[in-house]
Amino acid sequence: MKPTIVILISGRGSNMAAILSASLPIKVAAVISNQADATGLELAAAQGIPTAVVDHRAFSTREDFDAALQNAIDQFSPQLVVLAGFMRILSPQFVAHYEKRLINIHPSLLPAFPGLHTHRQALAAGVRIHGCTVHFVTDRLDHGPIVVQAAVPVLQGDTEALLSARVLRREHVIYSRALRWWAEGRLHWQEDCIHVDGEFQNFGGLSAPEPVA
């Protein structure tokens, strides 16, 4: 039987769409958002995937929201909860409930540039290489064991929009790749490091340089 995931989104849902179209050996049991107008919800519904909204504004504390979100997720009994552009900080209780079952994509080469506006941060820092990271979630924001990273060049004249689009194209590739490894039982925790097929591998995120426009 295919392992089951629930995807959490807050908006556009392009990573979710990439996961849905990747023909993974995974059942996407539901897509849940904290924003009723998240465009990704329509796309999921159009593919016959159950959707739900848990609006954070209806709760007075983070813990109450997280408890309601957890309740909504657990109705689908997922083996993995996949954060795909889910823009809420999660409480330690929530993270502990999904220990080793909560995975995220972040638009930077962590541990560089945690938090928001990662492309702006990268341009301000003048880095020449930027990228994205798939990692398991721990209660330290934008940290946690790395599964795969992809790097892109930062080019002269880059804007946040250009850099973000370049990174996003790589996000769509590595998130599906990480989920395929997970579904195939190929990810193993070695203390705080994730090994693929029992080894520390670094083949997943490296790509040929994109042509300079």
Q: How far is the CB of 169 from ligand GAR (least distance, A)?
A: 11
Residue closer to ligand GAR, measured from CB, 14 or 34: 14
- Dihedral of the alpha carbons of 62, 40, 21, 45, in degrees to the nearest 10: 100
Residue closer to ligand GAR, measured from CB, 12 or 101: 12
Based on the residue annotation, tell me whether 172 is a catalytic residue of this protein: no
Q: How far is the CB of 84 from ligand GAR (least distance, A)?
A: 5
Q: What letter does residue 68 receive in the DSSP assignment?
A: H
Residue closer to ligand GAR, measured from CB, 11 or 78: 11
Residue closer to ligand GAR, measured from CB, 51 or 75: 51
Name the token pair of 8. Answer: 């959490």
Residue closer to ligand GAR, measured from CB, 13 or 144: 13
Distance (Å, whole) CA 63 – CA 39: 26
Q: How far is the CB of 182 from ligand GAR (least distance, A)?
A: 18
Q: How far is the CB of 11 from ligand GAR (least distance, A)?
A: 5
Name the token pair of 84. Answer: 């795909």
211 phi and psi angles, rounded to 5 deg: -60, 140
Query: Which residue's Cβ lies closest to ligand GAR?
Result: 85
Integer angstrom CA distances of residue 5 from 31, 57, 114, 119: 9, 25, 25, 29
CA-closest candidate to residue 11, choices 115, 108, 83: 83
Residue 39 near residue 66, CB atoms below 8 Å: no
Q: What angle do CA 148, 77, 188 make, to 5 degrees?
A: 30
Q: How far is the CB of 48 from ligand GAR (least distance, A)?
A: 20
Query: Which of 97, 106, 119, 172 is an active site residue?
Result: 106
CA-closest candidate to residue 94, choices 54, 133, 57, 132: 54
Which residues of the shown chain bind ligand GAR in the complex (CB under 6 A)? Answer: 9, 11-15, 84-85, 105-107, 168, 171
Residues catalogued as catalytic: 106
